[in-house]
Homo-oligomer: A and B are copies of this chain.
């Protein structure tokens, strides 16, 4: 297939490389020349703007951008995708943004005949490189079916979430709960150890009881409990606190728009913000347990 790819950062770069590896013809655009160069060296063709790239003969166009404002401008701006793209091109936005923007841009695309899905990912830069990302896909079933075969070159789980925007909804709902569970896990582990329990024994009990969650089983915040977790390597790598903050910001903002109370989600957001300001924004979000101990 002929695939366009816009946004070649930490996530988008390796994703586009995986498309090349899978044998697709890939055209790319990014504002940063060095990022573009990496891809052209691997065999991609570069174009001068989103509009230039979108004007080519392509089957699918994938975008991977930092935030809602970029998505709006790359799709709807004067030099944007929708100004030149042909109606048969399938549009796939893998950025993590608010559901409303996803829905607005999809509606604009639909108006001129383009199918579009929102397909945010989880799995981090490691998953992007290994091609093991999870994609949460929102859009019509027809669009999902077309997107699936492309996404499978970049990820392992391609999950259909229902109508347009629901990929974003699934991602922020899941990550808000993740953010909450992690602070909860940190508080529970710190409490138990402070009261005299061995951390591994406590984790073992929780993981066979009703408190168990991904944050205690896989990414336990207490050092030494799970060998493969960031907690056991000084919280380096993993899912950065500042990335969790971004997702919690999207979640609480979306919650406001539909008047859904998220007291725990909002509290978690503020605690991660406090922690980030202490200088730890680059550590895995499980490092929040550091803020609970006596210093």
> What residues of chain A have their CB less than 8 Å away from a CB belonging to chain B?
99, 122, 134, 136, 157, 159-163, 165-166, 169-170, 172-178, 180-181, 183-185, 187-192, 194-198, 201-202, 204-206, 208-216, 218-219, 249, 251-256, 258-271, 273-274, 276-279, 291-295
Contacts of A209 in B (CB 8 A): 122, 134, 174, 178, 214
CA distance A118 to B187 in the complex (A): 23
A191, B173: Cβ atoms closer than 8 Å: yes
Contacts of A169 in B (CB 8 A): 191-192, 195-197, 202
- Cβ-closest 10 pairs across A and B: A213-B213, A180-B184, A177-B211, A173-B192, A263-B270, A177-B188, A174-B211, A266-B266, A194-B258, A261-B274
B214, A255: Cβ atoms closer than 8 Å: no
CA distance A261 to B291 in the complex (A): 9
Contacts of A292 in B (CB 8 A): 260-261, 274, 277
A192, B211: Cβ atoms closer than 8 Å: no
CA distance A115 to B197 in the complex (A): 20
A265, B187: Cβ atoms closer than 8 Å: yes
CA distance A206 to B170 in the complex (A): 8
A276, B260: Cβ atoms closer than 8 Å: no
B210, A122: Cβ atoms closer than 8 Å: yes
B187, A264: Cβ atoms closer than 8 Å: yes
28 A-B residue pairs with Cβ-Cβ distance under 8 Å, sorted by A, are: A162-B197, A166-B196, A166-B201, A170-B201, A170-B202, A174-B188, A174-B206, A174-B209, A177-B211, A177-B213, A181-B181, A181-B184, A181-B213, A183-B264, A184-B265, A190-B261, A191-B251, A191-B265, A194-B255, A213-B215, A249-B256, A259-B273, A261-B273, A263-B271, A264-B267, A264-B268, A267-B267, A279-B295
B184, A264: Cβ atoms closer than 8 Å: yes
A194, B256: Cβ atoms closer than 8 Å: no
Indicate whether A187 sits within 8 Å of B183 (C-beta atoms), given known contacts A263-B270, A267-B264: no
Q: How far is the CB of A67 from chain B (nearest CB, A)?
A: 12
Contacts of A255 in B (CB 8 A): 187, 191, 194
Indicate whether A187 sits within 8 Å of B122 (C-beta atoms), given known contacts A170-B205, A205-B161, A211-B214: no
